[in-house]
Amino acid sequence: MGFLTDPYAVFLVRWFHVLSGVMWIGLLWYFNFVQIPNMPKIPDEQKPAIGKVIAPAALFWFRWAALFTIVWGLIQAWQLGYISDALALGFTSKSAAHLSIGIGMWMGIVMAFNVWFIIWPNQQKALGMVDVPAEEKPAAARTAMLFSRTNTMLSVPMSYAMVAVHLT
């Protein structure tokens, strides 16, 4: 038995996957249920603290938690020997468990893609972290918000599919 397939290594990878996932989805829900709805209530003179300090720090942890959740999850699927069957949505194994975990994995991969390649680049524009014309900022903010809302909606069935695998 190799180190990476040792039961304690499997446990550690699962633990890191769960911790990363809690951070990722926790920050996703923070953005969508706390920060975005409450921004209109914040006085204009206080908004720079959100845009220049809080949001960039939260987005740092958000995007890296997304990446590490995917990485740890893929390592876990490899450790447990079902990575290809799950990514094939159970078509290769005819397994409901592989279908369930596969749906969750693909949703997570799509969500992480959204974070890194749509939400993050648009947030950088909206928050002034990269130079863009002022008229581009509202469109960038809207795009980031819409994809963040999409990820929020996907987070519920994704989590369900990941947990439901333990019912089959």
The ranges assigned to domains in the chain are 3-38+46-167
Per residue in 25-65, pLDDT (tens digit) is 999 999 999 999 999 999 999 988 888 899 999 999 999 99
Contact predicate 115/151, CB 8 Å? yes
Q: How far apart are CA 83 and CA 106, in angstroms?
A: 12
d(CA 57, CA 28): 13
Read off the tokens for 87: 């990514």
Tally of CA atoms within 13 A in the half-sphere of 129 that contains its CB: 18
Phi, psi angles (nearest 5°) of residue 94: 60, 35
pTM of the model: 0.91
Band the pLDDT of 168: cuts 50, 70, 90: low
Residue 131 has pLDDT above 80, yes or no: yes
Report whether 94 contacts 52 (CB < 8 A): no
Quick one: CA torsion of 108, 111, 112, 116, rounded to 10 degrees? 180
Q: How confident is the model at residue 27, as a pLDDT?
A: 97
Do 90 and 102 form a contact (C-beta atoms < 8 A)? Answer: yes
Look-up of token digits 């550690």: 12
Q: Which residues contact 103 (CB under 8 A, 6 or more apart)?
A: 89, 157, 158, 161
**Mean pLDDT of the 105-109 span:** 98
